[in-house]
Amino acid sequence: MLLAVLGMAFVCLFVGSSHMSFSECIQALLNRSTAANNRIIWKIRMPRVIAAIIAGAGLSVSGLIMQTNLNNSMASPSTLGVSNAAVFGANLSIIAFAGGFLDTGSHLANFDVGANPYSTSLMAFVFSVVSILLILFLCGTRSFSPNVVVLAGIAIGSVWTAATTILQFYATDVGLSAAVVWNFGDLGRATYRTDLIMLVTVGVGLVFFLFMSRRFDALLSGDAVAVSVGVNVKALRFVSMLLASMITAVCVSFLGIIGFVGIICPHIVKKFFGQEHFWSISASALCGSLLLLVADTLSRSMGSGSALPVGAITSMLGAPFFIAIIFSKGRRR
Amino acid sequence: MLEIKGLSFAYENDRPVLKGVDMALEDGQVGILLGRNGAGKSTLLKIITGVLKPSGGSVLFNGQDLLAMTRRERAALVAYVPQQIDFGDLTVYQTVLTGRVSYYSIKPSKSDLDVVGRVIAEMDLSDVSCRNVQELSGGERQKVAIARALAQEPKVLVFDEPTGNLDIANELLIIKEAKKIACSKNITVFSSIHDLNQAMYFGDKFFFMKDGSIKYTGNSEVFSPEIIRDVYGVEASLVGDRGEKYINYYKELRND
């Protein structure tokens, strides 16, 4: 799987609307091509490939951890309304405060032109964190019971969605279209700086989740058994949900909504490798990276000049495969 | 010795579930907790295993206060086998290994793996150790749950209705295993059970709960029509067969 991710990363690096040949890409990778080609590879494609690897891994692992914590196979980063809160924050920035993020990052001409590309991301992130903390605070009063967390997430998520709808109702045509474009999700917004921020967040989360992997295994048998074998269930659930939500918040804030990765990838991995978390966390991370790399490559090859929304591609690509996996009778081991 | 003194608990302040429970169980004994649904049996077991915190009282094992211990310390003394078990998508080996969670951080040591291997062999699960637990029968799954509990190397093993969902063949299998564990390893077993005849065969000491406290305690002699009537509100009779007692509580149905 690691080889597949690396292989796909190279494919993703070599595919794009500029129609560079393979040898030109290699030359550009070695910084020996024309200035334009070098710039395309190192300033545009490389950050988005790195973003696909990091965000894919982060969103996928967040989904897996939420499914274990909430004992709900349909749980995903959107279960807690994190994505909905991010959308509201971004829409507020774009529509109400003219966030200056009208370029989607997909067009060479608009690259690096945004007035303040971090303001929308910052707003999205702030609202995501506020939403996470609100839900976890509310659920703390009920010992983080999985059902309460899911229901609180759905309820608060729908409040953000309603607020976004009201915001969009009052938006100008330009503001509305800019907000909708942000919602699509686009890896082209990634820069080395945003990649670094995502890497630190996803890295911290992955290390923590791997360190706690045996405790997550115990949690599969229910809270009572997990407590009896020595797991601090309440603290584990709070910290891991917070980290999983933060990973989602950071990725969504920088890249927009990239749906379904958090549901599809963990299920595929569980089907083939079982649920032992040390391996399923690692495999989910690689599976998420792979899916997002494939989706991004396709989105850039199919868009005739401009990239299609990568979130739509992940769903269209993953959903049929996901359904086939769910209905297949093959055993995982 | 497992001792419980003045234990009280309430889910809501005005509705106490346990009202000063007192009991004691010697090492290696099988104690059976009996009583109607809602009498507080599961609550008592969950307090012993650390799942719930009582509002008052103490739980001592050989003089050590279980409630004052850290989770890890308590997990090395007390293990729990619930009635409803969902193992997730793990193999038997992986499931039993979760019983050692309190003994290591990220990677199990050789001694952890040795314990898991030994317990799996003792529970006669070696042939299925690489199989997914979800593919096993109800009895085998219950054995896996017991194996996981034994992997904790506990001194007290707590069962909540261990045979509640099993057919009679698996029911006997689990009771036999539990009795064998208590005798061979000198582990104190404390279990709630609904079937009085099963309880009489399984247990050494019996605790009848009513209205949040232990009302009757004793060995198998404690079973009487009067106590059964008081605790369960059911007319029953004791019948002898080849020197063993059985409780017939279907008399009322026949008389209807």
Question: Counting one residue from A and one from B, how many pairs have CB atoms under 8 Å apart?
Answer: 98
A142 touches chain B (CB under 8 A): no
Share of chain A above pLDDT 90, in %: 24
Structure tokens at A80: 């807690």
| Range in A136-145, A176-185, B107-116 with the lowest mean pLDDT | A136-145
More confident residue, A220 or A15: A220
Longest alpha-carbon distance in chain B: 63
Regarding beta strands B30-34 and B188-192, do their DSSP bridges make them parallel or antiparallel, or are they unpaired? parallel
Q: What is the pLDDT of residue B217?
A: 93
Distance (Å) from the C-alpha of residue B141 to the closest C-alpha of chain A?
12
CA distance A255 to A52: 10
A227 vs B contacts (CB less than 8 Å): 49-51, 71
Distance (Å) from the C-alpha of residue A248 to the closest C-alpha of chain B?
25
CA distance B103 to A230: 9
Longest alpha-carbon distance in chain A: 64
Structure tokens at B78: 């007390």
pLDDT of B240 above 80: no
Q: What is the pLDDT of residue B58?
A: 92
Closest CB to A221: pick one of B46, B86, B152.
B86
Average pLDDT over every residue of A4-17: 82
Closest CB to A275: pick one of B82, B85, B89.
B89
In this predicted model, what pLDDT tens digit does every residue of A171-186 receive, in sequence order?
888 778 878 887 887 8
Concatenating the DSSP letter of every residue in A128-170 gives HHHHHHHHHHHHHTTTT-HHHHHHHHHHHHHHHHHHHHHHHHT
| Range in A113-122, A153-162, A205-214, B245-254 with the lowest mean pLDDT | A113-122
CA distance B107 to B117: 16
Chain A from 264 to 283: CB within 8 A of any B CB: 270, 274-276
Residue A294's alpha-carbon distances to A52, A186, A289, A315, in angstroms, are 9, 14, 9, 12
Q: What is the pLDDT of residue A115?
A: 46
Q: What is the pLDDT of residue B251?
A: 67
Concatenating the DSSP letter of every residue in A247-265 gives HHHHHHHHH----SHHHHH
CA distance B204 to A224: 26
More confident residue, A36 or B119: B119
Q: What is the pLDDT of residue A188?
A: 81
B99 vs A contacts (CB less than 8 Å): 229
In this predicted model, what pLDDT tens digit does every residue of B202-237 receive, in sequence order?
889 999 999 889 999 998 888 888 999 899 888 888
- Model's pTM, two decimal places? 0.84
Q: What is the pLDDT of residue A277?
A: 92
A329 touches chain B (CB under 8 A): no
pLDDT of A17 above 80: no
Decide if B51 and A270 are in contact by the 8 Å CB cutoff: no
Average pLDDT over every residue of A297-315: 76
Rounded to a whole number of angstroms, the distance between the first and last alpha carbons of chain B is: 46
Q: What is the pLDDT of residue B167?
A: 77
A214 touches chain B (CB under 8 A): yes
pLDDT of A204 above 90: yes
Distance (Å) from the C-alpha of residue B204 to the closest C-alpha of chain A?
25
Decide if B91 and A274 are in contact by the 8 Å CB cutoff: yes
> Domain spanning A21-49+75-260: which CATH class is it, in words?
mainly alpha
Q: In chain A, which residue's Cα lies nearest the Cα of B87?
A: A221
pLDDT of A206 above 80: yes
ipTM: 0.87
pLDDT band for A270, please (50, 70, 90 cuts): confident
pLDDT band for A121, please (50, 70, 90 cuts): confident
Q: In chain A, which residue's Cα lies nearest the Cα of B82?
A: A225
pLDDT of A195 above 80: yes
pLDDT band for B83, please (50, 70, 90 cuts): confident
Q: What is the pLDDT of residue A103?
A: 43
**Residue B159 and residue B166 in contact, taking contact as beta carbons nearer than 8 Å:** no
Hey, how many other C-beta atoms are within 10 angstroms of the C-beta on A213?
18
Q: What is the pLDDT of residue A332?
A: 46
B51 vs A contacts (CB less than 8 Å): 223-224, 227-228
Average pLDDT over every residue of A208-230: 91
Mean pLDDT of chain B: 87
Closest CB to A229: pick one of B88, B89, B101.
B101
Decide if A225 and B105 are in contact by the 8 Å CB cutoff: no
In this predicted model, what pLDDT tens digit does every residue of A57-107 receive, in sequence order?
999 999 999 889 888 777 777 777 888 898 898 888 888 776 444 444 444
Decide if A333 and B130 are in contact by the 8 Å CB cutoff: yes
Distance (Å) from the C-alpha of residue A303 to the closest C-alpha of chain B?
40
CA distance B3 to B24: 4
Alpha helices in A16-91 (DSSP H): 22-29, 35-39, 46-70, 82-91
Burial bucket for residue A235 (CB in 10 Å: 0-12, 13-18, 19+): exposed
CA distance A104 to A290: 23
Give the SS3 label for residue A100: coil
Three-state SS annotation for chain B: CEEEEEEEEEEECCEEEEEEEEEEECCCCEEEEECCCCCCHHHHHHHHCCCCCCCEEEEEECCEEHHHCCHHHHHCCEEEECCCCCCCCCEHHHHHHHHHHHHCCCCCCHHHHHHHHHHHHHCCCHHHCCCEHHHCCHHHHHHHHHHHHHHCCCCEEEEECCCCCCCHHHHHHHHHHHHHHHHHHCCEEEEECCCHHHHHHHCCEEEEEECCEEEEEECHHHCCHHHHHHHHCCCCEEEEECCEEEEECCHHHHHC
CA distance B153 to B100: 9
Domains of chain B: 1-77+154-222 (3.40.50.300), 90-149 (no CATH)
**Residue A117 and residue A194 in contact, taking contact as beta carbons nearer than 8 Å:** no
Structure tokens at A121: 């991301």
In this predicted model, what pLDDT tens digit does every residue of A272-290 receive, in sequence order?
888 899 999 999 999 999 9
pLDDT band for A117, please (50, 70, 90 cuts): low
Q: What is the pLDDT of residue A217?
A: 92
CA distance A193 to A253: 13
Q: What is the pLDDT of residue A59?
A: 93
CA distance B247 to A196: 72
| Range in A50-54, A58-62, A116-120, A191-195 with the lowest mean pLDDT | A116-120
Which position has the token pair 């820069």?
Answer: A191
Q: What is the pLDDT of residue A310?
A: 82
Closest CB to A220: pick one of B46, B88, B106.
B88
Q: What are phi and psi of B214, to 5 degrees?
A: -80, 115
pLDDT of B151 above 80: yes
Mean pLDDT of chain A: 82
Chain A from 62 to 81: CB within 8 A of any B CB: 68, 71
Q: What is the pLDDT of residue A274?
A: 85
Radius of gyration of chain B (CA): 19
More confident residue, A166 or A106: A166
Distance (Å) from the C-alpha of residue B8 to the closest C-alpha of chain A?
19
| Range in A103-107, A227-231, B39-43 with the lowest mean pLDDT | A103-107
